């Protein structure tokens, strides 16, 4: 792993667990195994590092959503179900990127609110565009009802996932998967042709 990648990874983990103000450049340098002065050759400020982490997480999320549709589903139902399951498993993983995303989408650092939310909102819109494209294809194939627009389907799909993301804080994986199955059943009943 290259130094800059390691800085981004360790920065993400410390920002996620300690918050923006708790994650100092000294702590990040220590985790990476650098002198603080060496860290500053890569990033001239904590703010610059924070926004690189935010941008990386936003981009990784869009790539993740794209990858969830590259699955072995033979039918539209299977393809969407496998995508949903990949999201549920990712949420339950308690990965630092998810903790970062949840923390800073809800509580961006003071003074950075507009910039953080703009980056995250743009990635959400790109991810939903991928989903809506899948729904549009499925509607053309006659698998998804046209009574529900691709936008409405995307709102419902990601609304369910947002609800599950909060459950990861207080339920174990078995319960989250059970709740996910119930949500999937209702979602599919609502969108199928």
pLDDT, one tens digit for every residue, the chain (193 residues)? 799 999 999 999 999 999 999 999 999 999 999 999 999 999 999 999 999 999 999 999 999 999 999 988 899 999 999 999 999 888 877 788 988 998 999 999 999 999 999 999 999 999 999 999 999 999 999 999 999 999 999 999 999 998 888 888 788 888 988 999 999 999 999 999 9
Which pTM was predicted?
Answer: 0.90
Pairwise CA distance, residues 98 & 86, whole Å: 14
Contact 43, 52 (CB under 8 A): yes
CB atoms within 10 A of CB 85: 16
């Amino acid at each position: 792993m290259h130094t800059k990648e390691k800085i981004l990874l360790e920065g993400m983990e410390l920002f996620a667990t300690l918050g923006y103000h708790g994650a100092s450049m000294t702590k990040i340098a220590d985790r990476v195994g650098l002198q603080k002065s060496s860290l500053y050759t890569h990033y001239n400020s904590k703010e610059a590092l924070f926004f690189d982490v935010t941008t990386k997480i936003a981009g990784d999320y869009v790539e993740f959503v794209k990858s969830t549709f590259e699955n072995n589903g033979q039918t539209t139902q299977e393809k969407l179900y496998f995508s949903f399951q990949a999201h549920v498993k990712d949420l339950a993983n308690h990965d630092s990127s998810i903790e970062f995303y949840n923390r800073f989408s809800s509580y961006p650092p003071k003074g950075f609110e507009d910039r953080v939310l703009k980056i995250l909102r743009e990635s959400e819109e790109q991810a939903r565009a991928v989903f809506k494209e899948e729904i549009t294809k499925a509607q053309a194939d006659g698998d998804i009802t046209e009574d529900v627009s691709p936008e409405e389907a995307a709102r419902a799909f990601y609304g369910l996932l947002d609800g599950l993301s909060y459950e990861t804080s207080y339920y174990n994986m078995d319960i989250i998967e059970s709740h996910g199955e119930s949500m999937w059943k209702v979602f599919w009943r609502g969108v199928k042709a």
